[in-house]
Structure 1
Amino acid sequence: MAELPGLAQADRPLVVLADDDTAITSQLAPLLERSGFDVLTVHDGAAALTAATALPAPDLMVLDVLMPHLDGREVLRRIRQAGVWLPVLLLTQVGESSERAMALEEGADDYLNKPFDPYELTARLRALNRRARRGLPPLASARVLRAGPLRLDRAARRAWVAGREVVLTPKAAALLDYLVTHPDELLSRERLMEVVWGWDSASTTRAVDNRVAEIRRGLGDGPGMPQWIETVTGEGYRFVPRVEAER
C-alpha cells in the first residue's frame, strides 16, 4: 500500500477528490476544506486507486466516472474487490435510470449527476461520514438489509415485514430501496425524483408523495407517528430505523 503521511487531522475526515477537471477540483476542494474535511486531490484513475488503498486510509472518496488511465467505475470495482469499504460518492455523466442503477450496483454508496450543486455534494459526504463513524456497514453494497422486522432483498426488489411480504409497485420498491440505503438522511422530493424517476420524467414531486403513501400502507406506517418514514415539512422524507446488512 502507498503511504500518505500527515494528510488528515484526527477530527477532520480525509476525502479523496478524484476528478480530471481542474475547474471542478479547484473550486470544490476549498469548499470541502472550509466545511471541515481534509482533501487529497488526484486527477486520474490510477492515482485514485493508489489513494484509496493508502495509509493512513482515507475516510471518503468522490470519484468521477470519466478519468484518464482508469475510469471511475473500474477504480470502484477494484476498490471493492480489494475489500476496501470506504464510502464512495460517484460523479456520473447522465441522468438515465440505467446509469443510476449501475452506479449503485457497482458499489457506490451514493452518486450525483454532473453538473451538481457543491453544497449538496458536501451534505452527502457529511451524511456518508456520519454513517461510517457510527460503525454502520456499507449498505449500498449489501444484497439483503434489515431494519427491525423489515427485511429487504435488494436484488429481487422484495420486502417483508415480520414475515409478511409487502407488495409494491416497481417505483415504490425502488423508492423504498433508496430510503433504506440512506437511513437517517433527509432526502428532498427533488432528490428522490432524480433517483427513481430521472431528470427526463414528466412526473412531478407529487409522484414521490404518492409512492411514499403506498410504502406506508404496505409497511403499516402512519405519517402522524411514523415508525418507518418521517415527513419533514417543506423538506422531504427520512427513513427512521437503524438499518443493518444481513450477515
Structure 2
Amino acid sequence: MSYYKEDLNLINKNSLSQQKSTFKAWIFGRDREERSQVINALKQEQWPIVTIQSLDYFESLASQLSPDILILCSDIMSTFGNQLIRELRKKGITFPILCIGKILQAENCIIALEEGADDYLHSPLNKREFVSRARRAAKLTNRSHTTPANTDNNAKYTICNLQFYPETKNLESKSGQHVSLTKGEVNLLLLLCENKGVTISRQRLASLTETESSNSRTIDVRISKLKKKITLLDPNETYITSKRHEGYHFTSDTQAIQEIK
C-alpha cells in the first residue's frame, strides 16, 4: 500500500520518543465512528497509534513489528476477529489483545477470551474505563514476540493426578496425556491453586484474572471449559466445584497441590 513505508517511519519515530507511561497501540477496525472514539481516547494519553483497516496491512506490519497492545474493534470481532486471535496465539505471538464488541456480540467476545484475548469491552465505550483497561493490559502482559520453546519449563504444580505447567500452558496426566490451556484458563487455575480450599467469588476471579468484572458469565464459561479439559485427563476426580451465590473452589481432595521448582 502507498502509505505503508510512511506508517513504518512514524512507528519507529514514535518508538524512540515514547515516554515510559505510554504504549504503542494498533487499532484494527473499519467502523469510522468507533475507531475515532478509540483514537481520541488514546491520543489524549499521548500513545503512539497506528490505524489498520485491512488484513493484508495488518499481516505486513505484524511480520516486522510488534505493538504494546492490539485493539480489535467490534466490526472486526463480528467477522474474523476470533480467527485472527487464534492464529496469532498459535504462532506464539503474545502481545496483548483488547477486543471491543457490541452488546449483542457478548458470546463472540467470550470466545475471543478463550482463544487468547486479554480483555474485552462492550461498545459504546466508557472512555475512562477503556483507557484504564488498555493501560493495564499493556502493563501487565506487554511482551515481545515469543514462542513456547523460549519459556521456562521448570515451574509446575502437582494437582492430585495431574501436572500443571503454567509457563507452557499445559496440563498433563500421569499417563502422559496432555491438553493445552488458554491464558485465561492458566490464570484461573493458578488462582485456584494458590487459594486451595477457599471459595472465590466470580467477581473476585474476574478482577484478578483481568476479565470484565461485571460479567460473571464470562467466568462461568471459562470455568466450564477448564473443567471439561481436566475431565478429559482425569474423569474420576472432581477438582473444581461451585457454591451457589458464592463462587468456585478446589475440593478437599486437591490439598496435595504444591509448587515444585
Give the aligned partner of residue 196 of structure 1: 216
Figure out how many residues of one structure are paired with residues of the other and give that number: 181
Question: CA shift at 1:133, angstroms?
Answer: 5.3
User: TM-score normalized by structure 1?
Assistant: 0.58
Give the aligned partner of residue 236 of structure 1: none
* Separation of aligned partners in 2, 1:177 and 1:138: 22
Task: Name which of 5, 9, 14 aligns with 1:5.
Answer: 9
**Structure 1, unaligned stretches of length 5 or more?**
146-151, 199-210, 220-245
Task: Name which of 103, 108, 113 aligns with 1:104.
Answer: 113
For residue 183 of structure 2, give the secondary structure of its aligned residue in structure 1: coil
After superposing the two structures, state which structure 1 stretch, 59-68 or 33-42, moved more: 59-68
* CA separation of 1:115 and 1:5: change in aligned 2, threshold 3 A: same
Give the aligned partner of residue 125 of structure 1: 134
* Separation of aligned partners in 2, 1:47 and 1:119: 29
Question: CA shift at 1:179, angstroms?
Answer: 2.3
For the pair 1:159 / 2:192, whether they are aligned, the reply is yes
* Separation of aligned partners in 2, 1:103 and 1:32: 23
* Separation of aligned partners in 2, 1:126 and 1:39: 14
User: TM-score normalized by structure 2?
Assistant: 0.55
Q: Root-mean-square deviation (CA), in Å?
A: 3.9
Deviations 1:16-68 (A, max 9, x none): 0111011222343133122121100112334334334432x211111124339
* Separation of aligned partners in 2, 1:15 and 1:22: 17
Contact 1:63 1:90 in 2 (8 A): yes
When Rg is computed on C-alpha atoms for both structures, the one with the higher figure is 2
Identity %: 20
* Separation of aligned partners in 1, 2:44 and 2:209: 28
Name the aligned partner's letter for residue 10 of structure 1: Q
* Separation of aligned partners in 2, 1:196 and 1:109: 16
Give the aligned partner of residue 57 of structure 2: 47
For residue 143 of structure 1, give the secondary structure of its aligned residue in structure 2: helix
* CA separation of 1:118 and 1:124: change in aligned 2, threshold 3 A: same
Task: Name which of 31, 35, 45 aligns with 1:35.
Answer: 45
Question: CA shift at 1:176, angstroms?
Answer: 4.1
Name the aligned partner's letter for residue 18 of structure 2: A
Contact 2:199 2:246 in 1 (8 A): no
Higher helix proportion (structure 1 or 2): 2
Contact 1:60 1:87 in 2 (8 A): yes
* Separation of aligned partners in 1, 2:106 and 2:40: 32
